[in-house]
Structures are given as structure tokens and as C-alpha cells.
Amino acid sequence: MGPLKKIPASGVPKGIGAEGKIVDAARWEDSNGDNFIVFSKWSAPGKHGAGFSDDADTVSAHLEAVHAVASAGATRNLRTLKDKEQNCDADLRASFLDAALSLTDLDHDGIGEITFGYVLNCATDMSSAVLKLVMLEDGARYILRGQTRVHVGGGEMMGGNHQVDAAFGNAPPSFLEHAKAQWLKVRNH
């Protein structure tokens, strides 16, 4: 398996249908062929619904990650993951976490596992944000869901916990061990 290499948006094959603006991308080779992980982001005006005044300015932020493989002249998407923070009228945060990005082959099957994380938040204070850490392997998805950890004063910390997606029950134990280690790297973001 080849190493993970960051690439510019111009290096992403045209057949990979990422929505929005590409904010990061990487590639690697494994037994599936030439793999790409493409991260994109876009925003849109929010919908004025219950709880918002008519003149409230809201915005929604969207994140997308596409894992695709190019092999024998064809490109196919193995998995597309989308998430969003909607109708935010406060400070909006939606971003991928570079510190979580890693490539492994923990089950030694010649197919890489790509791990990445992202945060979503709409708040006016220093509260915890939604944090998700995702592992993808050959179209399968494994997720840790929780919150970022923040200082609440006096040296105390709040948040930083996570829930383990049931899909990890079908994966080798090393997948969850790796995901938990990556979580510890990014939970303070």
C-alpha cells in the first residue's frame, strides 16, 4: 500500500462528484487501485422557521467527504458522507480536522482504511461542538460521535466524550482502537 499524499483540488479526477468547494484532498494506492479522499464545503442561506424572526439572518453549512477509486480508466465512488449544521443565527463552525487524517491497513488485507474527523457547531459561547471521527474501508463506514472538549473555568473540562457506532462490532478490534486514539488527538479542537 502506498503512502497518503495530499493533492491540490486540480489533482482530483473529474469523475469524482464532490459538491461545493474542495477544501482538501489526498490519494493513495492499494489493491483497489488509485484511491482519493475529497473533502468539500459549502454554505447556503438558512430557512426561516419556528424560533426565528422574519429578519433573522441564518446560514447553513454543509460538509462532504467522497472516497473514490480510479482503476482501469474508470472512477467509482465507494462512499459519500454528508453532514450539515442548519439555520444558524450565531457563530457557525463546520470544518474538517487535518489532525485526524490518517491512512492505515490495520487488518492487513491490502485495502487502506482512511480516517478523518470534522466538527459542526452553531453557538454564541465556548460550548462543545459536535465532533465526528470516521473510518472508511472499501465502502464500509465506522463512526465515533460525540463532542469536543472545552475549558469551563477553574481548570475544569467539559465534553470530549463519544459514542461508538454499532458498525465497529463488525470490524477488527484494531479499527476501534485506532479510532479512539485519533479521537484523543482531536477532541480538544
- CA within 13 Å, CB half, 138: 11
| DSSP letters for 103-122 | EE-TT-SS--EEEEEEEEEE
Give tens-digit pLDDT for 135-149. 999 999 999 999 999
**C-alpha cell, 154:** 477553574
- What's the predicted TM-score (pTM) here? 0.90
| Residue 42: pLDDT band with limits 50, 70, 90 | very high
Give tens-digit pLDDT for 82-119. 999 988 888 889 999 999 999 999 999 999 999 999 99
64-103 b/e (C-beta count within 10 Å ≥ 16 → b): bbbbbbbeeeebebbbebeebbbbbbeebbbbbbeebbbb
Give tens-digit pLDDT for 144-183. 999 999 887 777 888 889 999 999 999 999 999 999 999 9
